[in-house]
Amino acid sequence: MDLQTLLKAFYLLLCLPGLLSAENIRLPDMGDSAGAFISPEQEHRIGTEFLRRIRLSFQLIEDPEITEYIRNLGNRVAANSDDPVQNYTFFMLDDPRINAFAAPGGFIGINTGLFSATESESELASVIAHEIAHITQRHMARAYEAQSNLNLPALAGVIAAIIIGSQNSELGRATLSASQAAAVQAQLDFTRSNENEADHIGIQTLAAADFDPRAMTVFFERLQQASRYYSRPPEFLSTHPVTVTRIANARGRAERYPFKQFTDSLDYHLIREKIRQYIPKQPHDIAYYEKVLASRQYNNETATRYGYALALAAAGRFNQADQELLKLLKQHPEQPYFLLARAQFMLESGKTQAAVDAFQQALKLYPGDHSLTVTYARALLQLKRAAESRQLLHEHRRQRDPDASLYHLLAIAEDAAGFPLEAHQSLAEYHYLNGQTREAIRQLDIALALKTENFIELSKIQARRDQLRQLEREENPH
């Protein structure tokens, strides 16, 4: 099997593609052989390794407001799935291509291009619901039976290669070669069944989460129609083939639910406007917003004015940006996005004490809010108040599992506050989560070389270094 056939076939098996048939949907037996081959704990480890490899090849969105929105939306959908206790990790790639994908252990990635292509929150939720269905039905776990001879890091490499290949064929080819996965086989008939199940269960999940169950077909149809004007189809259509039969089947299932009006959250429109900044060739300059506002050709006026304020600030016109935000805050006095943006504008325009006061007032309204906390910690570092930033981040870390960006920020705060041992530990975890195992080990070596009499802490560092050395051996067996 040549590489291109391999990439196409195995990605079809692992992700969400396939041709729909009119056959009756049969839900899988959760006690099937895949359950004996790989446990949920092993799936989670594969997913963790997969995400580390994705970080090596693509830029993930680190903006705390965007990441928190997609996390909250994903968790809302997942809580109404047929496996609400499954843990999920939702993340966004800074990639204008229209695509989304799932990996074992509940890891779901969405491109900024796909988010921008949606026109309602229900459409975005429908993609997430579809991906969740493939995970809850353990479609990917069954695919591992043919690869039971691979260790978990190697298997994660195969999955990463296929998904990377769907986004960038050259990167996928290099990753696949490195993972030595030339023996992978696919069964397209099985994939058809997977796709049927994911559509069916995804629509059920959408309705249970109080989103429009018809949104899935609306989104698919619009992409299919728009693809006529593309020089090549969007990646989403390549990995999720949309046929007339598939749309008809999905519409038939959705029509079983009573019709009602669904209203998007303001957060959806605000984040969609913010994501506009990440999409090349999409207008988001001052002239664009002034034209749209003057003509009233917008979907959501509040979000458009928010985008206008962001554009003004990006051009250094902070006083005008602040005036726009003050108008918005009169209508939405406790909207956290507006409060955070105003505090940032004050900081960037040199109004230091006013910015600190604004951050503190916002955190009184929303204690522990991730976006406000992280942004305030960065502001404290900028103001040379590292000890305060470090304390704030440590308190926040106890409330949630740190991600790579939080570890990186913590490392800066630790170093600036005079805690080099802790700084190198945080840097090690940052590099580990970014797939840079060797650099993570190097950071722990540096930490161990520092003079300290804290035997317990040294023992912890040595144990973590041993874990990472073992992982490096598994990642590079030859």
Helix, strand or coil, per DSSP, at residue 109: strand
> How much helix, strand and coil, in percent to the nearest 5, is found in the chain?
70, 5, 30
Neighbouring C-beta atoms of residue 344, cutoff 10 Å: 21
Report the chain's C-alpha Rg in angstroms: 24
| Residue located via tokens 């899988």 | 28
Which residues, listed in sequence order, are joined to residue 202 by a DSSP beta bridge? none
Alpha-carbon distance of 432 to 440, in angstroms, equals 5
* Residue entry with tokens 């988010």: 115
Residue type, 99: N
The token pair that represents 397 in the structure block = 């870390």
Of the candidates 421, 399, 401, which has an alpha carbon nearest to the alpha carbon of residue 411?
A: 421
- Comparing C-alpha atoms, which of 156, 155, 161, 158 is closest to residue 174? 161
Residues in contact with 358: Cβ distance below 8 Å, sequence separation at least 6, in sequence order: 339, 342, 343, 346
Environment class of 305 (CB within 10 Å of its CB; exposed 0-12, middle 13-18, buried 19+): buried
Query: Considering 123, 195, 199, 322, which one is annotated as catalytic?
Result: 199
Establish whether 273 is a catalytic residue: no
What is the C-alpha separation between 279 and 129, in angstroms, rounded? 24
CA distances from 25 to 84, 126, 203, 254 (A): 22, 19, 13, 15
Distance CA 409, CA 414 (A): 9
How far apart are alpha carbons 350 and 226 in whole angstroms?
Answer: 46
* H or E segment and range at residue 130: helix 121-136
Active-site residue, from 43, 95, 131, 273: 131
The SS3 of residue 102 is strand
Closest CA to 97 of 2, 169, 182: 169
415 is catalytic: no
Tell me the catalytic residues: 131, 199
